Amino acid sequence: MKKNEEPFQMKGKGMAAAIAICFIAVVALVGAYTFSSYKREMKEQLAKAEEEQKEKEREAEEKEQSEAANTDRIVLPEQEEAAQNSDGEEQQEEGEATEHAKETPAQPDAGAEQTAAAGTAAYFSEEDTLLWPVDGNVIMNYSMDQSIYFATLDQYKYNPAVVISGQVGAEVKAAAAGTVSAVDTNAQTGTTVSIDMGNGYAAIYGQLKEVPVQPGEYVTENSVIGYVSEPTKYYSVEGPNLYFQLLKDGQPVNPMDHIAYE
């Protein structure tokens, strides 16, 4: 019995080995197929990635070219201004001509104003004369070479003006044409009007009230510039008067040397 069983056992072992070999072969084939599929899939993915990368690069290149084209079409402000100046040169000339035409009618008025200003520009010379500024007599003479008596002050002092008596409310007139340079008030001469007569000459009118003129105003000769006021405390004894002073380059001169006597 043992002798018959051995060949059978040998056959069984051979079949098992064959089966094992077949199984290994199948596994090897499956593994080889799987690995081949994996390699093919990886190759396809790499090719796809490569294609996508090329597509991105192509899109980026097209975008750059598009931006470059747009940049070429951009007109810088300087270029636009130059183009406008070049293209609209005729329009500009027409506009200037039109503007000039609009301004032309106003030029005669400007010229008239300049002529009027030139005509009213005061120029008082050494040979010119002054009108008598108020109805009254001189009660204190101009005196800068010796002192004279001031009754209210009860003292002797120099007098850089003439003091002319006048009734309260009497008109005071411009002795010569000029431009009012100041209207102010001080303790000695009260409300005082200064008139620039040109060429360094100026006239000062003190002891006034109800002054109708203002600084910068041009006044003609013999026009009313105020009225005689009550005297200040410096001239209370002398009574109502006009303080009249003439200056040349800021220095007092005798106004009586220029008064026109009738």
CATH code where residue 205 lies = 2.70.70.10
**Residue 143 sits in which domain range?**
138-257
Specify if 5 maps to a domain: no
Per-residue tens of pLDDT for the chain, all 262 residues: 445 555 555 556 666 777 777 777 766 666 666 666 666 777 777 777 777 777 877 887 777 776 665 544 544 445 555 555 555 555 555 555 445 444 443 443 433 333 344 445 789 999 999 999 999 999 999 999 999 999 999 999 999 999 999 999 999 999 999 999 999 999 999 999 999 999 999 999 999 999 999 999 999 999 999 999 999 999 999 999 999 999 999 999 999 999 976 5
Number of domains in the chain: 1
Specify if 204 maps to a domain: yes
Classify residue 259 as exposed, middle or buried by CB count within 10 Å of its CB (0-12, 13-18, 19+).
Answer: middle
Determine contact, residues 165/239, Cβ cutoff 8 Å. Answer: yes
Specify if 244 maps to a domain: yes
pLDDT of residue 24: 79
The three-state secondary structure class of 169 is coil
Q: Is the torsion defined by CA of 184, 188, 193, 196 positive or negative?
A: negative
pTM over 0.75: no
pLDDT of residue 252: 97
Specify if 182 maps to a domain: yes
Specify if 212 maps to a domain: yes
Closest alpha carbon to 168 in 243, 245, 239: 239
Specify if 1 maps to a domain: no
Specify if 157 maps to a domain: yes
Specify if 128 maps to a domain: no
